[in-house]
Chain A
């Protein structure tokens, strides 16, 4: 259990630590600028805002946590905070419990699901001993999904943090693929908390009202979300992953990014699959040693001189066999960290696709405008530069009347006018999108590099701990054997 708590704590402190814009990498994070304010970025970076340290002496609503001032991973002196508006700074958020529930679903059939308790508490600045009340409400996974879908549609230029997996994947034989399995539920709880913290610490997303209500308003939230009508705004083409659009002039950076996200997804899933198999085998090696324990003990009963050595060696074999459980449990959390970025790859790809779509629409609109202009010109001058069936038939079956032609030209001219305005706004939209999306992508890249590097380091730490335990056990066993 301790390993799980420690892990949850580490996640949180990692994210909080990165709220202070200087992470372990030492580079200030470019804040997500959001479409409207590119110019104010440099000014923001200089704003001086003292960090708000959390009092660890305050009563904690759930398991113990360290200071949430980011001191844990980043121990160097903090520069001025530039994310003073960020929700995560003002509010402590935890997903503290999970509970099995039964209810009736939309088709009035009984179903079992898990509900998660979200607790929030406003952070009091600079006041010692003041403890604000904890608010809490229960949410189930499907509501988290709804929230995320809303964010995806509403902020297409943002790399939206992913949810933990819906179904257990990359399992090895000891892990259950059952969604109701307590280990799975526990890891999902941590993942959901991580999701909320990521959103709350995102400079743009944290300001969203729906998100805020998700955290604070129990009843009527679903209706509120649906009322935003986001589902209508959703572009179904975005979901069609395999559809390709013949885009002539995509921003090269997005094309590269899409390739990168494909590679990332492929390599991380391969890694996770092999890691699961390695874990399985490691489990086998350790556990079979447990058999030694039992047999040594039985054998020691018939031996006089060897008995003691055998018996105590057997005990150490038991210790060895049992030690793998905690080791692999911790490793699951490492796997979860990698999984997060596996899913982040999808979010990256979504942004690239959005760009592609916008570019495609833009090019189509430009093409349409050009052809309309041409048509207009042909009608006006009576020449036919491009082949058109209409043109042919009118040649064959007689010209149209001048009035008809005038009417057509007028319609076309209106359409051209509209089209030009649309094109202008689409162009502007497109450029804004590229700018703001790329800013968020830069932010994401820094976050990813920090997080993954730390994950790799934590993996090394885990291996070191495992080796040290092994050394201890086998040193003890060796001594027992020498006394046989």
Chain B
């Protein structure tokens, strides 16, 4: 029979028409953005034709970074401040250091809006609890705005050009739809800022940085006066620009093998993490659409039951099952947006940071290399040059060692974070299916009981 001979695998999906309703359709458009992988490279696709898999659109590039779904955002931003105990802070983020060894606990909360003549901005409360000797007090509370975090980050980069400074949440979202001060945006940013500070606190070197300490402890006026010292932001930006430029100009001649490997790794990692980020967002979006449809699906059965007699109970049972599954879907989505999405996004940012770190290292090395070249050409001022070169050689060696150590640490953290994030996602899905299973099984049991009940009553005269 012809139907039996049919090959599983429908014809390629047509570009999304009006039916799906959402702008970014399910299309086979975006081959360009996905890295070309030779067919045999990783593994053979085990099931189905590639056409079965929904490709990601070009439009995903512009997809807003955090999905705007205010109905599902937990604890909206302007919630009253909650004193967070150290132990719960430990549980929030898994760090490689033993929890008992931590002596610095930081929380970021309580966003507040400030309106002045020139601008409106948000400040966040930063609470620090510590037992370290170098801190005068064991508890501090300050308010900081996003600009202050930016300042801190650039100071850290300046002091440690080849260390991996944790990512800050983006300045603002490009795609117009998300309001700069929407509750959800603020909450997401708050969480990311919290993570930023805690990652620094956990870093063996950065945690002792002086600017970091000032950031955590100084009152507002102290901080602004401190900021005014030292080279301005522009000069620091210039550094990175020069670094980028020099590496663009053709790479570094004597780059050690290890860093070339790192570079190659980061290029691929960066690609992959970006795609994963898009996939996760796309899944969230599809789940949300599914949730929206399910909300309508259950009540129809209840409506139907109103015109029936015999099957009214069965219909109501189905309606209730569908509603419960609907709620379970909501939970699943919340889990995704609380865990997986923020972590994937953080590592998207990390991949950019790491590329920058590698370039800065290259730049430092190229300074050395060019001095050596200059020495080779000019025989004069040999001694002066040798001294400079000696210093530069030290600088390069320092930079390389710092990066190597930090790289190893970063990789370990990344592995840990990914394991937990994806493990958590799997858990979420497991719970979802377990909940739905229980619901439907109990419905089925009730129906079978009814059946047997009816038969019994029929047999009785």
Taking Cβ atoms with an 8 Å cutoff, the residues of A that contact B are 1, 4-5, 24-27, 62-63, 76, 96-99, 172-174, 182, 185-186, 189, 260, 263-264, 267-268, 270-271, 274-275, 277-278, 280-282, 284-285, 287-295, 297-302, 305-306, 309, 311, 313-315, 318-319, 321-322, 325, 449, 452-453, 456-457, 459-461, 463-464, 467-468, 470-471, 474-475, 477-478, 481-482, 484
Contact with A along B386-406 (1 / 0, CB 8 A): 000000000000000000000
A295 with B276: in contact, given A287-B54, A481-B422 (CB under 8 Å)?
A: yes
Find out whether the CB atom of A471 lies under 8 angstroms from the CB atom of B53. no
Identity of the chain B residue whose Cβ is nearest the Cβ of A323 in the assembled complex: B47
Chain A residues in 8 Å Cβ range of B303: 267
Find out whether the CB atom of A467 lies under 8 angstroms from the CB atom of B433. yes
A66 to B379, CA, bound (A): 98
Find out whether the CB atom of B314 lies under 8 angstroms from the CB atom of A453. yes
B238 within 8 Å of A (CB atoms): no
A463 with B289: in contact, given A271-B300, A457-B447 (CB under 8 Å)?
A: no
Find out whether the CB atom of B46 lies under 8 angstroms from the CB atom of A318. yes
Q: Nearest Cβ in chain B — how far from A287, in angstroms?
A: 4
Find out whether the CB atom of B279 lies under 8 angstroms from the CB atom of A291. yes
Query: In chain B, residues 412-459, which have Cβ atoms closer than 8 Å to a Cβ of chain A?
Result: 415, 418-419, 422-423, 426-427, 429-430, 432-434, 436-437, 440-441, 443-444, 447, 451, 454-455, 457-458
B164 within 8 Å of A (CB atoms): no
Q: Nearest Cβ in chain A — how far from B408, in angstroms?
A: 12
A302 to B13, CA, bound (A): 31
Find out whether the CB atom of B436 lies under 8 angstroms from the CB atom of A294. no
B17 within 8 Å of A (CB atoms): yes
Taking Cβ atoms with an 8 Å cutoff, the residues of B that contact A are 1-4, 6, 8, 10, 13-14, 16-17, 19-20, 26, 35, 37, 41-43, 45-48, 52-56, 264-265, 268-269, 272, 275-276, 279, 282-283, 286-287, 289-290, 293-294, 296-297, 300-301, 303-304, 307, 310-311, 314-315, 317-318, 321, 325, 415, 418-419, 422-423, 426-427, 429-430, 432-434, 436-437, 440-441, 443-444, 447, 451, 454-455, 457-458
Cβ-closest 3 pairs across A and B: A478-B426, A281-B290, A467-B437
Identity of the chain A residue whose Cβ is nearest the Cβ of B3 in the assembled complex: A186
Contact for A484 among B422, B432, B447, CB less than 8 A: B422
Q: Nearest Cβ in chain A — how far from B219, in angstroms?
A: 44
A76 to B458, CA, bound (A): 12
* 6 pairs, A vs B, C-beta closer than 8 Å: A189-B3, A267-B304, A295-B276, A299-B272, A478-B423, A481-B426
Contact for A297 among B43, B304, B455, CB less than 8 A: B43
Contact for B269 among A292, A302, A305, CB less than 8 A: A302
A359 to B42, CA, bound (A): 76
Chain B residues in 8 Å Cβ range of A299: 268-269, 272, 276
Identity of the chain B residue whose Cβ is nearest the Cβ of A468 in the assembled complex: B437
Find out whether the CB atom of A453 lies under 8 angstroms from the CB atom of B52. no
Find out whether the CB atom of A471 lies under 8 angstroms from the CB atom of B434. yes
Total A-B pairs in contact (CB under 8 Å)?
Answer: 226
Chain B residues in 8 Å Cβ range of A27: 458
Find out whether the CB atom of B321 lies under 8 angstroms from the CB atom of A463. yes
Find out whether the CB atom of A464 lies under 8 angstroms from the CB atom of B437. yes
Contact for A464 among B26, B269, B418, B444, CB less than 8 A: B444
- The main secondary structure of chain B at its interface with chain A is helix
Q: Nearest Cβ in chain B — how far from A338, in angstroms?
A: 10
Contact for B419 among A322, A452, A481, CB less than 8 A: A481
Chain B residues in 8 Å Cβ range of A293: 45, 53
Identity of the chain A residue whose Cβ is nearest the Cβ of B428 in the assembled complex: A474
A474 to B296, CA, bound (A): 27
Contact for B318 among A289, A302, A460, CB less than 8 A: A460
Find out whether the CB atom of B286 lies under 8 angstroms from the CB atom of A460. no
Chain B residues in 8 Å Cβ range of A477: 426
17 additional contacts (CB under 8 A) given A63-B1, A173-B19, A464-B437: A1-B4, A97-B2, A173-B16, A271-B300, A274-B297, A290-B52, A294-B45, A299-B268, A299-B272, A306-B419, A309-B419, A318-B45, A321-B53, A457-B314, A464-B440, A478-B423, A478-B426
A196 to B451, CA, bound (A): 28
Identity of the chain A residue whose Cβ is nearest the Cβ of B430 in the assembled complex: A474
Chain A residues in 8 Å Cβ range of B55: 291
Chain B residues in 8 Å Cβ range of A461: 444
Contact for A474 among B264, B275, B433, CB less than 8 A: B433
Find out whether the CB atom of A321 lies under 8 angstroms from the CB atom of B52. yes
Chain B residues in 8 Å Cβ range of A449: 310-311
Contact for A459 among B1, B279, B318, B433, CB less than 8 A: B318
Identity of the chain A residue whose Cβ is nearest the Cβ of B44 in the assembled complex: A297
Find out whether the CB atom of B310 lies under 8 angstroms from the CB atom of A453. yes
Q: Nearest Cβ in chain A — how far from B420, in angstroms?
A: 9
Q: Nearest Cβ in chain A — how far from B84, in angstroms?
A: 28
Find out whether the CB atom of B53 lies under 8 angstroms from the CB atom of A302. no
A459 to B322, CA, bound (A): 11
Chain A residues in 8 Å Cβ range of B54: 284, 287-288, 290-291
Contact for B43 among A25, A274, A311, CB less than 8 A: A311
Find out whether the CB atom of A467 lies under 8 angstroms from the CB atom of B46. no
A407 to B269, CA, bound (A): 108
Find out whether the CB atom of A96 lies under 8 angstroms from the CB atom of B1. yes
A478 with B427: in contact, given A271-B300, A295-B272, A315-B46 (CB under 8 Å)?
A: yes
Find out whether the CB atom of A301 lies under 8 angstroms from the CB atom of B41. yes
A284 with B26: in contact, given A322-B52, A460-B440 (CB under 8 Å)?
A: yes
Find out whether the CB atom of B440 lies under 8 angstroms from the CB atom of A463. yes
A138 to B13, CA, bound (A): 34
Contact for B20 among A280, A282, A292, A484, CB less than 8 A: A280
Chain A residues in 8 Å Cβ range of B454: 25-26
Find out whether the CB atom of A464 lies under 8 angstroms from the CB atom of B441. yes
A298 to B40, CA, bound (A): 11
Q: Nearest Cβ in chain A — how far from B53, in angstroms?
A: 4
Q: Nearest Cβ in chain A — how far from B413, in angstroms?
A: 13
A260 with B307: in contact, given A281-B293, A285-B283, A288-B279 (CB under 8 Å)?
A: yes
Chain B residues in 8 Å Cβ range of A292: 276, 279
